[in-house]
Amino acid sequence: MTAQNAIQDAYLYDAVRTPFGKVGGALAKTRPDDLAALVVSESVKRAPKLAAAGIAGAEQINEVVFGNANGAGEENRNVARMATLLAGLPTSIPGTTVNRLCGSSLDAAIIASRQINVGEADVMLIGGVESMSRAPWVLPKTERPFPMHNLELANTTLGWRLINQNMPSQWTVSLGEATEQLREKYGITRERMDEFAANSHQLAAKAWDEGKYDNLTVQVPDVDLTRDETIRPESTAESLSGLRTVFRKENGMVTAGNASPMNDGASAAWLGSEKASDILGLQPLARIAGRAAAANEPQYFGYAPVDAVNQAIERAGITWGDIAAVELNEAFAAQSLACTDAWGVDTSIVNTWGGAIAIGHPLGASGARVLGTLARRLEASGDRWGVAALCIGVGQGLAVVLENVNAR
C-alpha cells in the first residue's frame, strides 16, 4: 500500500443539536429544513478557523451528509443539500441524505468516516433532522383515473405505511406490538420497564441541571425551548406503573411512559482526518474505532443492536471489558433492557445523561445525538472507550465505537 492510498483515521471534532421538541410542541412551527440549516450554520460558527475565514473557509468542507427517516414532506429534495444552501454555505459543497430510519444520522457518520478513511475527504459535516409534527399525510396515486372506490390517506409520521402485500404479516406489526413480542421472548417485566423509563427522565433532568448539555445544544431562534421538551423529572416507576398499555389491551406492558415519544429536532457533528484540525480550528474529541450494521427478523428490530455492537467492538480490537460508556437509543424500555441483558453490561454506564425515553427520538436526528453525547461523556470522564448504538425499524441495528483521544 502506498502513502497515497494509506488508510487514515477519522475523528469526531464537535457535535451540536437543538433541544428536542414534542410532537405539536415548541418546534412544530419550524420546518425541518430550517432546523437542519440551523445546526449546519451553528457547526460552522463553532469551528473558529472556518468561521473566521467566512465563505472561503467553508469551501474546505468536502461534503454534508444528513440522515432523515421520512422524506415525504418539507425535507424532500435532499435535505442535506437544502440545509447547506439555506445556511448560506457555498453552492460548491455537495450534500446527500441517508435513510436508514432511526439509524439515519449514525449511518451518515459511518459513511462520512469511510470517505475520510480512504482519503476522499478531510472535513465532513454529518447530522440528521426530523419533524414528526410536520410529517404529511399522503394520498396514494390510483392505477387508473377517477376510481370508483374510496381512497385512504396514509400518515407518514412513523412506522409501516403503504405496505406491500407480499410482505409477511408477522414482519409488519406495529413497532409497539413488535416490542410486546420482544419483551415476551426475553422475559422483560413491566416493573423493570417502568423503572428504566423513570431513571431515563431523572438522569436527563440531572444532566441538564448540571450543564452537561450546554455545549451540546443550540437554541432555535424565536422559540421558547431551552431544554428537551419531553423530560419529566417527576416521573417514578410507581407513577408510570399506573399508565394504560397502548398496543395491547390485554396482557400488554408497553405504555406511553416506557416508550420514546415522537419529536422534532436536528443534530450535527464534524468528522475529519488529522488535517481537519487545522481547517476547523478544533482539536479532535474521539477517533471512530469500529463500526457495524446488523440485521434480524423485522419484528425483533429492538434486539438488532446486540450483534451490531458486538461486531463493532471486535472490529475496534477491544472487548466489552474495555467499554466505559454506552449510548443506546431508547426506542422502548423493553428493547433497551433486552440489549443490555444480552451484553451483560453494567447498566450504570448506559445513558448516564438520560436517554430517548426522556430526551426524545426525532428519528433522523437521534444517531448523531447519541454519537455526540458519547464523545462528550468520554471527554468528561476521561475514559478511553465507548459505544453508540440504535435499533432500527424493519430489523436492523447500527453501532459505532469511539476512542477518546485525550483519555486519562
Is 157 within 8 Å of 132 (Cβ atoms)? Answer: yes
Q: Which residue has the cell 417502568?
A: 194
Angle at 262 between CA 364 and CA 353, to 5 degrees: 75
| Torsion angle, alpha carbons of 98, 100, 105, 109, to 10 | -80
SS3 5: helix
391 in active site: yes
User: Which residue type, as a one-letter code, is found at position 251?
Assistant: N
- Which position among 149, 201, 339, 361 bears the catalytic label? 361
The C-alpha atoms of residue 101 and residue 227 are separated, in whole angstroms, by 24
Q: Which residues have CB under 8 Å from 33's CB, separation 6+? A: 74, 75, 79, 82, 83, 86, 129
Q: Which residue has the cell 450546554?
A: 214
Nearest to 326 by CA among 391, 406, 400: 400
Is 397 within 8 Å of 302 (Cβ atoms)? Answer: no
- Secondary element (H or E) of residue 328: strand 323-328
Q: Which residue has the cell 422534532?
A: 264
Which runs of consecutive H residues, i.e. helices, occur in 149-240?
175-186, 190-209, 237-240
- Secondary element (H or E) of residue 115: helix 104-117
- Which position among 102, 149, 201, 339 bears the catalytic label? 102
- Which position among 149, 201, 339, 391 bears the catalytic label? 391
**Which 8-state DSSP code applies to residue 136?**
P
List Cα–Cα distances, 181 to 64, 95, 281, 334, 392, in angstroms: 38, 39, 49, 10, 16
Which runs of consecutive H residues, i.e. helices, occur in 210-347?
237-240, 276-280, 305-315, 333-343
> Catalytic positions, please?
102, 361, 391
